[in-house]
Structure 1
Amino acid sequence: MTIKVLVVDDSALIREVLARVLARESDINVIGTAVDPIDAREKIKQLNPDVVTLDIEMPNMNGLAFLERLMRLRPTPVVMVSTLTTRGASETLLALELGAVDFVAKPNADLAGGLEGFGASLRDKIRAAARSDVRGRSVSRAEATATTKVPIRTAAAPEGALIAIGASTGGVEAIREVLSSLPADCPPIVITQHMPAGFTSRFAARLDELCVLTVVEAEDRMVLQAGHAYVARGDHHLRVERLSGQLKCRLGQDGLESGHRPSVDVLFESVARSVGPMAVGAILTGMGRDGARGLKLMREAGAYTIGQNQATALVYGMPRVAFEEGAVVEQAPIDQIAARLANALVRLKSAA
């Protein structure tokens, strides 16, 4: 099936570049372009695209305001095209909270170098967006708003316990859902979310604003502390190692694993080695298979493992592969994963 794409950007150059790189492969068809949200609104009605690419800074209406209206009135998969700035990162994360499926960093003005990589990344994200369930997510959000959550009283665990979480497309919101439901007495939490350099610092800061936990971007040799969560730095693998009797973050820029850096497999494999049965792990929404191998090693080492279920995953790729390969003990809706992790930690404490 050919994916119909509408490109929305006020820059004629960017519209041309996006249309050109998307047209490189036959399964994607750019059916139109729009210069601002007003133009885009009419084009969406006329052309009924499968996916929209959307800039944030545009005349007549801010891209974020347009995205909020689009997701409320006509939920459509959207991939943001973002600038690599502090403000751009903050606005991109807000766009993901509003319902955008994913984002790509806008190519440099001179377009020198990296255009092939940019095009390949954009095409992959368009394909993932086309397979995503944004309408289902809109419904599940409305249901979650109408449901009163029972707070998790404790996630206390014995010394040496650890939570490991991995995600990709749709993971920004899924991770927020899990972390904001966990209490302050959690053991350390390590997180790999597929995200480029320049965005992970703001992602960690945003999570820190929303959670009772302290959330930071991981630094090399940082000691893992209870009540803290550590987000893998963009373009760096995050590993957990036991050094001088303490669990610590280790960062590295060695080769891609499962097509990614940071890689969920790299994190989970290190947790299987360093923490073994004292770990609990969760694999959330995302395209591809990164994390399945590492999570299976965690389960084989005695860890409790859980995958996000199909009904609540924006892209049921990574959790599906993990389930099919026997890497998860169980699957659950995203709004139940924090409670399952907490229960597993309570069982660990009882066993200890």
Structure 2
Amino acid sequence: MQLVTNTQVTPVAFQWPAGFYSDGIHIGLRKSKKDFGYLFSKVPAAAAGTYTTNQFQAAPTKLTKMMINQNHQLQGLLLNTAVANSCTGRQGWDNALQEQTWLANKLAVDPSLIGVASTGLIGAQLPMDLIKNGLPQLSPTTSDAVTYAVLTTDTHPKKVCVQFELSGHLVTMTGFAKGSGMIHPKMCTMLGFVTTDAQIDGDLLQTMLSDNVDDTFNQITVDGDTSTNDMVVTLANGYADNPSIQPHTPDYTIFNDALHDVLGQLAQQIAADGEGASKLVECNVLQAANMTDGQKVAKAIVGSNLVKAAIFGEDPNWGRIISTIGATDAAVDIDHVDIAMNGMALVADSLALPFDEAAVKHSLQAPKVIIDVNLHHGSAHGQAWGCDLTYNYVKINASYHT
């Protein structure tokens, strides 16, 4: 990932920004792990979201999108795992509305300030009695328990926290996400939540979020499947008391760098924790005709099942990489493509180079594998992240329902 170069953006230990609280508990949606939680701000926050483009968009996703699009404000989100509330018809929609009402009543706010996010099995109705009984158990804590309450096949939560100054005011930005399988974003995917105490207009926040998901969340893939429930929501409550961020200012640049960094780190954590994965795969494409081509080629390579399987087998089979490049509609100089793996050149001008196969194979044992491609057809670049394809991916998904 492209690291933030502004030294004012500093990674820190996980903490919520001022004015944010959360909780995560177990209410019986899963056998024993946390499965239910909430996230809220003491005051209405500027809100932005990006959402799955799957045509069977789930009721919680539709509802949250509707609330944010009204005036780009939210104050609370109710979250659950195990049951996606997707493809559940009118009852599923009514259940999402009921959840919204229950949390609004608990927080004493207008229901229009409440969003809902669900993940899990498609087609099952929410057990509303468990949710109703679970709501009173949620407490306003500053723990990270909610980051566990949205996990499905994830092996761990994905969390990032950074701090920076805007016009002399200390600002905190904290994000968390879930995602392991059914990962192939179009607009955005998985569940991701970013909170900050910065002061910013909701419309401007929406523009920044939409721009930044394009080369972060939208550039990861695990299995080529786009889920029905996925979204990324960003909330900014203004508790840092900075002057409201304006476009084309130093504060805008600092905030945008921080947001890009948080989204990028969360995206890479999701790719690295793909179902059954043992390796994170990064592809960097140079000298593409344009950024669209660069991004397209990079994502195609990390998404190729043949490439993913070769990396799992630690096999430096570059033929699978060049074949994947050629299968895209990107502009390519077919006589002048270069390929390297983990810094070792394998191909120059579309022809094989002599290389130490044992050394390359050994390098593929690392937890991160980097593929570099030079298309020699322009000055744009692209970057994407994925993971290897292992036996465990099939094992997990062969019995997901049961």
Q: Comparing both structures, which one devotes a greater share of its residues to strand?
A: 2
Q: Comparing both structures, which one devotes a greater share of its residues to helix?
A: 1
Instruction: Give the TM-score of the pair, scaled to structure 2.
Output: 0.22
Name which structure has the greater RCO, CA cutoff 8 Å, separation 6+: 2
